[in-house]
Amino acid sequence: MLQIQNIRENKESIITALKKRNIDAAPMLSKVLELDEKRRSIQTELDATLAESNKLSKEIGMLFKTGKAQEANALKEKTAGLKEASKTMGDDLNTTVEELQQQLYLIPNVPHESVPAGNSEEDNEEIFKEGDVPTLSDGALPHWELAKKYDIIDFELGVKITGAGFPVYKGKGARLQRALISYFLDKNAEAGYTEMQVPLMVNEDSGYGTGQLPDKEGQMYHLQADDLYLIPTAEVPVTNLHRGDLLAESDFPIKYTGYTPCFRREAGSYGAHVRGLNRLHQFDKVEIVRLEHPDNSYQALDEMVEHVKNILRELKLPYRILRLCGGDLGFTSALTFDFEVFSTAQDRWLEISSVSNFETFQANRLKLRYKDENGKSQLAHTLNGSSLALPRVLAGILENYQTDEGIKIPEVLVPYCGFDTID
């Protein structure tokens, strides 16, 4: 969430920056400033009314003590009117504050200056590519066919139990899935991330804290009876660990990793591009989250990008990195790098990770602050990244490592799997 003071002081530059998102933010920012001015005006009037009421209350006490009951009672009538007026102003203030908050929730984060302009994923900027694309035999299969051939993932059984987008992993498929989770967590722990096991459901405050609400409300599974949401990513509960906290500068950096299943409705997603593991309603993901001093957050972002690159190098999967354009940038992000692995059998790139810096956008919603060297409270910076999302990594392994004799397992995963081939 943008800070009101920043909007007040930099309205025109924010409008210009948000044009990268193809948004005309002028009406929204004007509405915010209008509501903020109204809030401040009501607050000033309310403070003056309460001060006068308090002053009169003291005078009434003195009058009663000196035996001037008639004068005291006359003032009591005046204070009663002031109390009624202050109650009305208090209600108006609460309504205005709520309207202001809801308006602020509608405004996305300001893109970093390095974010390219653009309308969609077609305008994202490729900044890095690495790895050799394997040459497959003429009979090479996409992962959904390989899953059926080797009986390692059953999509139809998932439909029977739940519905489309909920696959069942079987035998070596389940063991490979577990191996990837353990490998990712170990790599993250080696890099200094503390492993956390967090709830798979969050309350509304947590959803608003990291920006999934109200922006992605329709994409989340909502348990109405308890007013809880199934998490779309571990980013939500892990970042909310510090909601409302006041940190010390010496606490930074704070680095967490966590494995969770993730749940996304993905409404309206159909077609061959979402077949098999390409898009699911339930999937596993290992996340990394960092809380940083603002001076260090972009260095931290670079470190997170290098960390994911090293994992993909060890898996020996061909991948590329994209800098997302304004039109494809997530609502809460200031700068995002997407990692994509090349699926040789599908002849297309599959997104497997997003690494983002949110700057103060989430921290302002979370009321996540630290005390600087002068003892003043400042907003922290938050970052997160997939390290990694399993379905498309698994799809890339199955497709790129397939041979006529079976599917080879990446060497780094063999100790975790206990086997080197799926046949």
Using one digit for the tens of pLDDT, what is the confidence trace for 206-225? 999 999 999 888 899 999 99
Q: Which residues are annotated as a binding site?
A: 233, 264-266, 287, 351-354, 384
What's the mean per-residue pLDDT of the chain?
95
Q: Please give the sequence-ordered ranges of beta strands (E in DSSP) within 152-281, or none if there are none.
A: 153-154, 168-169, 194-195, 201-202, 222-223, 228-230, 246-248, 254-263
Does the pLDDT at position 268 exceed 70?
A: no
Q: Which residues are annotated as a binding site for L-serine?
A: 233, 264, 287, 384
| 147 and 269 together in one domain | yes
**Residue 28 belongs to what domain range?**
4-105
Contact by Cβ (8 Å): 409, 317: no
So what's the pLDDT on residue 74? 79
Q: Which residues are annotated as a binding site for ATP?
A: 264-266, 351-354
| 91 and 186 together in one domain | no
| 358 and 407 together in one domain | yes
Strand partners, 168: 154
10 Å CB burial of residue 122 (0-12, 13-18, 19+) is: exposed
Contact by Cβ (8 Å): 71, 65: no
Mean pLDDT of 34-44: 97
In the listed set 79, 105, 131, which residue is the last one of a domain according to the structure? 105
Does the pLDDT at position 412 exceed 90?
A: yes
Question: Token digits for 312?
Answer: 């993909």
Question: Token digits for 132?
Answer: 């050799």
| 92 and 142 together in one domain | no
| 313 and 398 together in one domain | yes
Q: Using 50, 70 and 90 to split pLDDT, how confident is the model at 269?
A: low
Q: Using 50, 70 and 90 to split pLDDT, how confident is the model at 336?
A: very high
Residue 379 has a CB neighbour count (10 Å cut-off) of 18
| 162 and 267 together in one domain | yes
Q: Answer whether residue 253 is part of any domain.
A: yes
Q: Answer whether residue 42 is part of any domain.
A: yes
Mean pLDDT of 331-351: 95
Q: Using 50, 70 and 90 to split pLDDT, how confident is the model at 73?
A: confident
Residue that the structure tokens 């909601």 belong to? 243
| 100 and 125 together in one domain | no
Residues 373 and 346: their CA atoms lie apart, in Å, by 54
So what's the pLDDT on residue 66? 83
Share of the chain above pLDDT 90, in %: 87
CATH number at residue 82: 1.10.287
**HSE-up of residue 406 (Cα within 13 Å, Cβ side):** 12
Q: How many domains does the chain have?
A: 2
| Residue 53 CB contacts under 8 Å (≥ 6 apart), including other chains | 79, 82, 83, 86
More confidently predicted of 266 and 262: 262
Residues 326 and 118: their CA atoms lie apart, in Å, by 6
Q: Please give the sequence-ordered ranges of beta strands (E in DSSP) within 50-166, or none if there are none.
A: 125-130, 153-154
Does the pLDDT at position 138 exceed 80?
A: yes
Contact by Cβ (8 Å): 331, 2: no
Q: Answer whether residue 267 is part of any domain.
A: yes
Q: Answer whether residue 110 is part of any domain.
A: no
The sign one gets for the Cα dihedral 263, 384, 288, 304 is positive
So what's the pLDDT on residue 271? 55
Q: Answer whether residue 27 is part of any domain.
A: yes
Q: Answer whether residue 112 is part of any domain.
A: no
| 148 and 242 together in one domain | yes
| 100 and 136 together in one domain | no
- The residue type at 286: V
| 405 and 286 together in one domain | yes
| 88 and 148 together in one domain | no
The sign one gets for the Cα dihedral 222, 224, 229, 230 is negative
So what's the pLDDT on residue 55? 87
Q: Answer whether residue 114 is part of any domain.
A: no
Q: Is 198 helix (H, G, I), strand (E, B) or coil?
A: coil
| Residue 383 CB contacts under 8 Å (≥ 6 apart), including other chains | 289, 290, 291, 292, 297, 300, 301, 304, 355, 356, 357, 358
Q: Answer whether residue 30 is part of any domain.
A: yes
| 303 and 187 together in one domain | yes
Residues 144 and 147: their CA atoms lie apart, in Å, by 5
Share of the chain above pLDDT 70, in %: 98
Q: Using 50, 70 and 90 to split pLDDT, how confident is the model at 124?
A: very high
CATH number at residue 303: 3.30.930.10
pTM of structure: 0.93
